[in-house]
Amino acid sequence: MEQNERVRCLIIGSGPAGYTAAIYASRANLAPVLYEGLQPGGQLTTTTDIENFPGYPDGISGFDMMEDLKKQASRFGTDIRRGIATAADFSKKPYRITIEGEKIIEADTVIISTGASAKYLGLPDEDKYAGMGVSACATCDGFFYRKKVVAVVGGGDTACEEAIYLSHLASKVYLIVRKNYLRASEIMQKRVKENHNIEILFETQAEGLFGSNGVEGVHLVKGLGSSHEERFNLPIDGFFLAIGHKPNTDIFKDFLKLDDNGYIITNPHTTETNIPGVFAAGDVADPIYRQAITAAASGCKAAIDAERYLTNQNL
């Protein structure tokens, strides 16, 4: 194992939260080191066009926007490195983070911005049509499906919220539900069922997608394994996954307080975790909004919180 390295501020993960934290931490002379993680730039690098982030009136690709943020963080002196955090030890100070199972970083402060990964069905076509009709964020991509036909997969509150949001944009929304009932709260069920632009397909599962230059339809099966099993194709323009997200918090679970779904719990109005000097920013601590702009804002807060902590601790 490589010799330990000591830093004042370690940022784990990139994306809008990590890079923004790096910009603020660098300008505060914290000499931050940032490890980009499994997907440098985060989930936004797989998004084709972003039109709802302030400052880009003509829109920008997710990859280009993350490159801009990365360059800005680098300009102010952030040490940006490739690598994945594989273990964490917050039992004593300085905190210890293992990178790639080999190098140990000792840090006075740690900003966690490892994000949350959308859950997918596991269909090969989800990868094939990524950015070409497949999305896991209606708020991010719904605008591109105005007056078009879309399908949302899921039966919980998130799926119902996504379907309702899309119903104000798309000409038709199909809600594909594997069970014969909705798991969503009563109020969300009521709103979906009363929305004339949403059609619920119960006991239905997606088996694949088709289309030449993007999604043009979905292969469905109704009543799988039953006497009334039926397979059919449904023409659609967009396929939205709304079956949940998994926060990337596995290596922190022995030390940090997490909610029932694995999201990091922070103190009200701050990015502070239950461990002093450890902060969380972005989707890893946000089960509600999961937007680039809110992630960037929390990255700013985390860097300010880290700077104040170091000052108060005379570090």
Residues 134 and 204 in one domain: yes
Long-range contacts of the stretch 143-148 (C-beta < 8 A, 24+): 143/51, 143/52, 143/169, 144/49, 144/238, 145/169, 145/170, 145/237, 145/238, 146/170, 147/171, 148/237, 148/238
Residue where a domain stops, chosen among 212, 241, 270: 241
- Nearest partner of 84 among 251, 247, 246, judged by Cα: 251
Residues 209 and 292 in one domain: no
Residues 12 and 99 in one domain: yes
Neighbouring residues of 117: CB distance < 8 A, sequence distance ≥ 6: 43, 245, 246, 247, 248
Task: Name the one residue in this structure whose structure tokens are 């690598």.
Answer: 83
Residue 289's pLDDT is what? 87
Residues 72 and 151 in one domain: no
The total number of structural domains in the chain stands at 2
Residue where a domain stops, chosen among 210, 241, 272: 241
Residue 52's pLDDT is what? 83
Residues 184 and 260 in one domain: no
Residue 140's pLDDT is what? 81
Residue where a domain stops, chosen among 182, 217, 241: 241
Residues 135 and 284 in one domain: no
Q: What are 304's two structure tokens?
A: 């300010």
Residues 31 and 107 in one domain: yes
Residues 133 and 226 in one domain: yes
Residues 137 and 234 in one domain: yes
- Residues acting as catalytic residues: 137, 140-141
pLDDT in tens, the chain (315 residues): 566 899 999 999 999 999 999 999 999 999 999 999 877 777 777 666 788 889 989 988 888 999 999 999 999 999 999 999 999 999 999 999 999 998 999 999 999 999 988 888 999 999 999 889 999 888 888 999 999 999 999 999 889 989 999 999 999 999 999 999 999 889 999 999 999 999 999 999 999 999 999 999 999 999 998 999 999 999 999 999 998 888 999 999 999 999 999 999 999 999 999 999 999 999 999 988 888 999 999 999 999 999 999 999 998
CATH assignment of the domain containing 88:
3.50.50.60
Write out the residue range of the structural domain in which residue 261 sits.
5-117+245-312
Residue 2's pLDDT is what? 63
Which residue type, as a one-letter code, is found at position 8? R
Helix, coil or strand: residue 1? coil
Residues 86 and 185 in one domain: no
Q: How many helices (H) and strands (E) does the chain have?
A: 7, 17
Residues 113 and 258 in one domain: yes
Residues 112 and 132 in one domain: no
